[in-house]
Amino acid sequence: MREIIRTERVSKYFTKPVMFQVLRDISLVINAGEFVSIMGKSGCGKSTLLYVLSTMDTEYNGTLYLNGNQLTGRNAGELARVRNEEIGFVFQFHYLLPEFTVLDNVMLPARKLGKKTVSEIRASALEKLQLLGIEDQANKKANMLSGGQKQRVAIARALINEPKIIMGDEPTGNLDSTNSENVFQIFKQLSRNGDLSLLMVTHDEDLARRTDRIIRMEDGQIVS
Amino acid sequence: MRELGLILDITRVHLMSRLKQSTVAALGVTFGIGMFIILMGFMTGLNSLLDGLILNRVPHVAIFNDIKPSDHQPIDLTQEFTNSLNVVRSIKPRSTKVRIHNATPIIEYLRNDERVRGVSPQSAAKVFYVSGALQINGLANGIDVREEIRLFNFGDYIVEGDPNNLWRDSKGILLGAGVAAKMSLGLGDRIQLGTIDGGLLPLKIVGIYQSGLREVDDIQSFVNIKTAQQLMGEDKNYLTDINVNLWDTDEAVGMAKRISEQFNLTAIDIETANAQFETGSNVRNLITFVVSITLLLVAGFGIYNILNMFIYEKMNDIAILKATGFSGKDVEKIFLSQALIIGLVGGVAGLILGYSVSVIIDHTPFNTAALPTIETYPVNFNPMYYLIALMFALLATFLAGYLPARKAKWIDPVEIIRGQ
């Protein structure tokens, strides 16, 4: 099976307010098409790990590979390119650009990538919105949407550049149970067709149990 | 190119969503630039008017026969004292005539020089203005009035009558405004000019001359060269001054030096004669620049403030842009372009404001006895100032935007996303 993400002995320290080791020698592998959840108590380092894997946090020891390429030591511009092209993000608090329309929000990463023309990008953005059942909201301002709708827009945006992996930091954490179930179903569906990998940090034991694999963390270490 | 379009799109949405603050920031630039244009146009307009008042009338090279002691004493001619230090005390100038010897060939020579725009000979005569029992000391300059009009804007200083009447009427006089006022004389009246040796010559007033300088207007008048020669009882070669105008003012210094060596006359160039005017103008221009730049600096601080505020408001946007693959440089460009657009829009509006107000000032009546030919405030519309102003608006907004934009560049998205 093909590896998407591999880490070798990743450690990280917080120096403020006191010296504290938040990640201890994390070595893990996520395969293509796998739906993995990370669980653990608050402060166990699961979000920190996700940000290291996402390439946004570069202050760690150890080595990170994405799709077989070493990312550790690359410069900020290259890492931005990697995030743009190969990783999709879904956050707990939606994080759309509030003054832009839903369609613009979805299109922005693809326009940054610049591999297609604007009209091609618009078509593919509408397609993603349709997939998530919110194409009728396309021309609304992002701040006019409900929480569940926003999260679907965020997923559409994460999908726009056909990434290898989607990372979610408690993507259902701020939603009611109906919406949370909807979003999870979308993830489940995405992982079923194609070899898109999903990595989700969550507190929700029920949701986690329905993923392919659970990584449990305690005190900065993987326990199971 | 497509990348730039994307960045400008984001910039546009950001600016439009904060239209009121963006407008206030741009207005700061508008007022700064507008004031710069108004100040520069008004100040330099006034400067060149005041300088012109004097300098227009000043020949580029003035040639005359100065009374001064001779540089060469008889002792210099003997071989015997060549190697000694010779001191001759109490040297007095020899009594010579003030006329320029061989004036006609010199004028001919100068007129054939291609650097020379024109030559205007003069013969000055000391006179008394006599009207009834009243006698006033004065100076009657014999001039070639057509050359004076062509070379020295002489016509601008004739407030009543027509200067061309002087060459039409050989018994005409252009009388100084001060003299005319003192003697209660006007256009068409007759005046008698008394010479030093007691003669009297009746002349008709064909124009009133006003330079704006009181000490000049109180004594000066202009007559034809022949009339002046007649007043002095001299022949037609009697000329006291030769005024030369050049095509290029910069050649005045060299030309004056050569003429004074070649013809053994005194030749004063315009730069030596009027150095103080140049200094005055420069200092006034400097003050204007400093005031304008201060205004623009204040506008710059306004932009800095507003962009800083933008960036605090847009922390989430910056984090999400970075998370979805925009680099720090892209984010920096987004905010820098916001600053530059504010600068460009505000700057262009400032140019329009400055131009409009300048036009209004240019049409505002301004009447003063000292400046007879001026009816409205003088304004300089030199496009150079408009160019400088726009460049400065862009530079100031770039600098004001640079620090906030660099801050945005280094914002750590993880910190923002975690912070929620």
DSSP output for A80-116: HHHHHHHEEEE-TT----TTSBHHHHHHHHHHHHTSS
User: Which residues of chain B lie closer than 8 angstroms to A76, CB-CB?
Assistant: 327-328
Beta carbons of B326 and A80 less than 8 Å apart: yes
Parallel/antiparallel/unpaired status of strands B200-209 and B190-195 = antiparallel
User: Which residues of chain B lie closer than 8 angstroms to A113, CB-CB?
Assistant: 325
Residue of A nearest to B314 (CA): A97
Beta carbons of B328 and A76 less than 8 Å apart: yes
The reported pLDDT for the residue numbered B372 is 63
Q: Looking up tokens 């290291």, which residue turns up?
A: A52
The reported pLDDT for the residue numbered B369 is 65
Model pLDDT for residues A150-194, shown as the tens digit of each residue: 888 888 898 888 888 999 888 887 778 888 888 888 888 888 877
Rounded-to-integer distance, Cα A175 and Cα B364, Å: 69
The radius of gyration of chain A's CA atoms, rounded to the nearest angstrom, is: 17
Cβ pair B377, B362 in contact under 8 A: yes
Beta carbons of B324 and A157 less than 8 Å apart: yes
Inter-CA distances, A48 with A10, A26, B189, B245, B315, Å: 11, 12, 104, 83, 20
Beta carbons of A84 and B324 less than 8 Å apart: yes
Average pLDDT value over all residues in chain A: 86
The reported pLDDT for the residue numbered B344 is 92
Which residues make Cβ contacts (< 8 Å) with residue B370, sequence separation at least 6?
B212, B213
Q: For a pLDDT cut of 70, what percent of chain B falls above it?
A: 97
The structure's pTM equals 0.71
Model pLDDT for residues B53-92, shown as the tens digit of each residue: 667 778 888 888 887 787 777 887 888 887 888 888 888 8
Model pLDDT for residues A57-88, shown as the tens digit of each residue: 888 888 998 888 888 888 888 888 888 888 99
Q: Does A86 touch chain B (CB under 8 A)?
A: no
Model pLDDT for residues B250-268, shown as the tens digit of each residue: 888 888 888 888 888 888 8
The reported pLDDT for the residue numbered B356 is 95
Beta carbons of B322 and A80 less than 8 Å apart: yes
Q: Does B322 touch chain A (CB under 8 A)?
A: yes
The reported pLDDT for the residue numbered B357 is 94
Query: B333 to chain A nearest CA, in Å?
Result: 13
Beta carbons of B323 and A89 less than 8 Å apart: yes
Model pLDDT for residues A13-33, shown as the tens digit of each residue: 888 788 888 888 888 888 888
Q: For a pLDDT cut of 90, what percent of chain A falls above it?
A: 5
Beta carbons of A83 and B319 less than 8 Å apart: no
Mapped onto helix, strand or coil, the DSSP state of residue A62 is strand
Cβ pair B125, B140 in contact under 8 A: yes
Model pLDDT for residues B198-237, shown as the tens digit of each residue: 888 889 999 999 887 788 889 999 999 888 888 888 888 8
Quote the Cα angle for A157-A163-A169, to 5°: 65
User: Which residues of chain B lie closer than 8 angstroms to A93, CB-CB?
Assistant: 420
Q: Higher-confidence residue: B2 or A217?
A: A217
Q: Does A60 touch chain B (CB under 8 A)?
A: no
Rounded-to-integer distance, Cα B242 and Cα B55, Å: 17
Task: Please name the member of A57, A85, A111 whose beta carbon is closest to the beta carbon of B6.
Answer: A111
Query: A179 to chain B nearest CA, in Å?
Result: 21
Cβ pair B408, B326 in contact under 8 A: no
The reported pLDDT for the residue numbered A94 is 60
The reported pLDDT for the residue numbered B358 is 93
**pLDDT at residue B420 above 60?**
no
The reported pLDDT for the residue numbered B212 is 76
Beta carbons of A108 and B420 less than 8 Å apart: no
Rounded-to-integer distance, Cα B180 and Cα B70, Å: 41
Task: Please name the member of B17, B413, B420 whose beta carbon is closest to the beta carbon of A93.
Answer: B420
Q: Does B4 touch chain A (CB under 8 A)?
A: no
Quote the Cα angle for B243-B268-B44, to 5°: 85
Residue of A nearest to B410 (CA): A76
Q: Does B282 touch chain A (CB under 8 A)?
A: no
Rounded-to-integer distance, Cα B358 and Cα B378, Å: 9
Q: Does B417 touch chain A (CB under 8 A)?
A: yes
CB pairs under 8 A between A and B: 76
Q: Does B319 touch chain A (CB under 8 A)?
A: yes
Model pLDDT for residues B361-401, shown as the tens digit of each residue: 989 888 776 666 678 888 888 898 899 888 888 888 888 88
The reported pLDDT for the residue numbered B285 is 78
Beta carbons of B321 and A108 less than 8 Å apart: yes
Q: Does A47 touch chain B (CB under 8 A)?
A: yes
Model pLDDT for residues B130-167, shown as the tens digit of each residue: 887 888 899 999 998 888 888 888 888 888 888 888 88
**pLDDT at residue A103 above 70?**
yes
What's the half-sphere exposure (Cβ side, CA atoms, 13 Å) at B278? 6
Dihedrals phi, psi of A191, to nearest 5 degrees: -75, -30
The reported pLDDT for the residue numbered B371 is 65
Indicate the pLDDT class of residue B348, thresholds 50, 70 and 90.
very high
Dihedrals phi, psi of B116, to nearest 5 degrees: -90, 130
Cβ pair A38, A10 in contact under 8 A: no
Q: Higher-confidence residue: B371 or B339?
A: B339
CA B212 to chain centre: 17
**pLDDT at residue A216 above 80?**
yes
Q: What structural domains and CATH numbers belong to chain A?
A: 3-222 (3.40.50.300)
Average pLDDT value over all residues in chain B: 85
Task: Please name the member of A51, A98, A109 whose beta carbon is closest to the beta carbon of B325.
Answer: A109
Beta carbons of A57 and B414 less than 8 Å apart: yes
Model pLDDT for residues B102-139, shown as the tens digit of each residue: 888 888 888 888 888 889 999 888 898 988 788 889 99
